[in-house]
Structure 1
Amino acid sequence: MTVASSHRSALTDLVRSAVVVLFAVIQTVVAGIAGIGAVGEPIGDVAHRYATPLLAADWAFAIWVPIYLGFLAYAGYQLLPRQRARQVHRETGWWLLASAVFNTGWLLSFGAELLPLAELLLIGLLVSLAVAFGRLSRVPAETVTERVVLRGIVAVYTGWVSLAFVLGTAATGAWVGLPGTGALAAIAAVVVLLAVTAIICWVILSGTAVVGYAAATAWAIMGIALNDPPAAVVVAGAMAIVAVLAATTRRLTTAGNPRRAAWG
């Protein structure tokens, strides 16, 4: 590598890292003001307005607090001089930056009750996180700090958004006029929940840092099951949690490629 190309790479790394920090802060600030309705309607009010059997209990959304704080910690970590040029950040940094942009847009559009737009942004958020989460499987973690503030946070964030996408899709369906209550809504909720659980278990058995991912998905499913949905959804939720725990136990007790360490 020539001196000029090395300089360009270093500058690119610095710009990427700095912009990640910027949007980590913006994302957190927007989440705070959107949550209380300072911009548009409060997120919770909109969610309840288009409630379905897949709506999680209010307490489940508290997971956003450690996610946002963790993302801020990750942003500071990847900005450190010794971290900026690492390949793991080059492969995931732009995708995690995109996730912050998509999440900020989702917060604003959902609060404005532009649910179809919010759904598209939520898809972008999930894809961005899934790509970053998948790329972390290529290289094992170097330190405990990296395992916690990069891999652990991305795993938890991806797990939660995997279910948030389901909740958002259900809310968008209610927004366009699909039934949010009754037998048809309950049957659809059960089918979707079980299908998503199958995907979650596949990720747990094949991915890396899956403990955080599994914990976040189980938390979200528990939030749905304990939010007084129809009995069939409660049963499906209980089955889903058992399946997630079983897959996680098997993952933890099966020796495999160290690049796919269950803890990151």
Structure 2
Amino acid sequence: MNETRDTVRQAVVLVSAIVAVVGAFIGSGAAGGTPIQDAAGGALAADATPIAPGGPAFAIWTPIYAGLLAYAVWQSLPKQRADERQRRLGYPIAVSLILNAAWILSIQFGFLAASVPIIAGLLVVLVWAFRITLASRPKNLVETIVADGTVGLYLGWVCVATAANITALLVASGFRGFGLGADAWAVVIVAVAGLVGVLVAIRGNGRLAPAVSLSWGLAWVAVARLTGDLLSAPAGIAAIVAVVVVVFVTVALRIRNSRSAGSPKVVSA
């Protein structure tokens, strides 16, 4: 009975990964569709809101999708079938993949309002998966990269994407900011994103992957605001400060925990 359940789980993760990658291919516009940044009336374009990342930021999806595909294949191997860690991690990753595809569809069909609860749900699921990776150590370097590393990159980027998505909906809905200017709101939202990065670093004892992708996203927010079509020096400077703080806290915690733990055989991502 357990073997059947494990086989089903492995198949679900693998199929979900294929669905998500196909959805990403369509969403990129490579199949003749509308690129995400141009869909939904351009609400997610690099110059649509003060915290929209610059276009090159989305290159982070390449290692994320590569990691997700690698994990889907790796976890489907017989050796991982009855692995307790994969039993707990498999379905959260599968759900995140389906939500990812659903988010792309919502944007492609112009349902910007629907995209926010979807990406919020994706963020919650990734927090769940991240907590699972924290509960036990990976067994080897391969698992560290394809499981822990991929989940971390995925989580860090989706933190930034969620903030950008919510802001895009507010701007598209005509939100006036209760008297605060766009620059002030941008600084507040970037500060919140930076705080989330610090909390993830603390909870993850200096995990590098979430900090890398979250900092990558915020760095491209800074580039877009300081050199792009929608200029905002306050937002750009706030994003730079957030990146510095997140990286500093993550590295400091990483060094401290490495020293206190000695030299573990497998280093978590």
User: Percent sequence identity over matched residues?
Assistant: 32
Question: Helix, strand or coil: the match of 1:82?
Answer: helix
1:31 maps to 24
Q: Which amino acid aligns with 1:156?
A: L
What's the C-alpha RMSD, in Å, of the aligned pairs?
2.2
| Distance of 1:101 and 1:209 partners within structure 2 | 29
CA shift, 1:205, in A, is 1.8
Asked if 1:185 is matched to 2:185, the reply is no
Q: Which amino acid aligns with 1:9?
A: N
CA shift, 1:35, in A, is 1.2
Which whole-Å deviations, capped at 9, do the CAs of 1:206-245 have from their partners, x for residues lacking one? Answer: 2157101100011000010000340000110111011011
Q: How many residues align?
A: 255
CA shift, 1:47, in A, is 7.0
Q: Which amino acid aligns with 2:12?
A: V
Q: Which amino acid aligns with 1:244?
A: V
Counterparts of residues 147-166 of structure 1 (less than 5 Å)? 147-166=144-163
2:8 maps to 15
Unmatched segments (≥5 aa) in structure 1: 1-7
Unmatched segments (≥5 aa) in structure 2: 226-230
Task: Flag the 1:224–1:262 CA change in 2: closer, same or farther, 3 A.
Answer: farther
| Distance of 1:167 and 1:203 partners within structure 2 | 18
Task: Flag the 1:46–1:157 CA change in 2: closer, same or farther, 3 A.
Answer: same
2:228 maps to none
CA shift, 1:49, in A, is 2.2
Q: Which amino acid aligns with 1:53?
A: P
| Distance of 1:13 and 1:179 partners within structure 2 | 51
| Distance of 2:206 and 2:92 partners within structure 1 | 17
Comparing 88-97 and 182-191, the one that deviates more: 182-191
Pick the aligned partner of 1:103 from 100, 109, 128. Answer: 100
Q: Is the 8 A contact 2:205 2:254 kept in 1?
A: no
Asked if 1:132 is matched to 2:129, the reply is yes
Counterparts of residues 55-70 of structure 1 (less than 5 Å)? 55-70=52-67
Q: Which amino acid aligns with 2:49?
A: T
| Distance of 2:245 and 2:190 partners within structure 1 | 12
Q: Is the 8 A contact 2:57 2:217 kept in 1?
A: yes
Q: Which amino acid aligns with 1:263?
A: S
| Distance of 2:202 and 2:55 partners within structure 1 | 30
| Distance of 2:78 and 2:233 partners within structure 1 | 53
CA shift, 1:41, in A, is 3.3
Q: Which amino acid aligns with 2:35?
A: P
Task: Flag the 1:39–1:132 CA change in 2: closer, same or farther, 3 A.
Answer: farther
Question: Helix, strand or coil: the match of 1:52?
Answer: coil
TM-score normalised to the size of structure 1? 0.90
| Distance of 1:75 and 1:208 partners within structure 2 | 26
TM-score normalised to the size of structure 2? 0.89
Q: Which amino acid aligns with 1:230?
A: S
